Amino acid sequence: MPSQGIGSRVSERELIVNWRQTVLDAQQGNRDALAELYRDFSPLVRALCFDQTGDYHAAWDIFQDVFLVMVSELPRLRNAERFPMWLVGIARRKAAEYVRRLLLQRQRMKELNEESTTRDESPAKREVLGRLHLAVKGLSERERLAIQLFYIEEYPVSQILAVLGLSRSTAYQVLAQARTRLRRQ
């Protein structure tokens, strides 16, 4: 069956019938049907993920997670005609989880910053910590998160990989780049 796509000029009913059959085929393990669903719905899911996060890279990671969930959970979908709404729901939940995690990380950083400034510390140490805090603010989000997770939260690299969605070599590379940038400042 040729892909109709979201932007194609066919009636809504025809699209539903086509999606329904494609979903049913995909539920039976048809890889071509899965590829067709991916092709037809990826623009919608990417746009929704970006709209929810405002971050291209985070949206791309969430987008990938959405389709992983789709593939694993599709056999449990009871009504194939509800597939588009079901997929959008997965995307919204994944984006909300990301935003919630990000807000919690920011809150934790704020609390750690407040804790470090309220301790009874020498003026020299406060000055160094202040410069370090400003230098960390100048890092990219990925570098800041890697530094925070590794040095402040004391996560092992294996957990940083899972949290940030990086390969082992990329995680070490991000940490090394962050340390280098901090040394320069």
Q: Is residue 112 part of a domain?
A: no
Do 86 and 125 have their domain in common?
no
- Integer Cα distance of 147 and 155 in angstroms: 10
Pick the last residue of a domain from 66, 99, 132. Answer: 99
**Is 7 inside any structural domain?**
no
Report residue 125 CA to chain centroid gap.
36
pTM score above 0.95: no
Specify the higher pLDDT residue, 103 or 14: 103
For residues 170 and 151, the model is more confident at 170
pLDDT of residue 173: 92
* Best-predicted range by mean pLDDT (3-12, 36-45, 139-148): 36-45
pLDDT band at 117 (very low <50, low <70, confident <90, very high): low
Same structural domain, 26 and 70: yes
Residue 135 pLDDT exceeds 70: yes
Number of domains making up the chain: 2
Average pLDDT over the chain reads 82
First-to-last C-alpha distance (Å) of the chain:
58
Structure tokens at 153: 């939260």
Contact by Cβ (8 Å): 56, 14: no
Residue 26 has pLDDT above 90, yes or no: yes
Residue 158's CATH number: 1.10.10.10
Check residue 119 and give its pLDDT. 57
pLDDT at 8 (0 to 100): 47
CA-CA distance, 159 to 146, in Å (whole number)?
10
Residue pair 79/27 in contact by the 8 Å Cβ criterion:
no
Q: Which amino acid is at 143?
A: E
58 with 19, same domain: the answer is: yes
Tell me which residue range forms the domain holding 167.
120-184
Q: Which amino acid is at 147?
A: I
Residue 109 lies in a domain: no
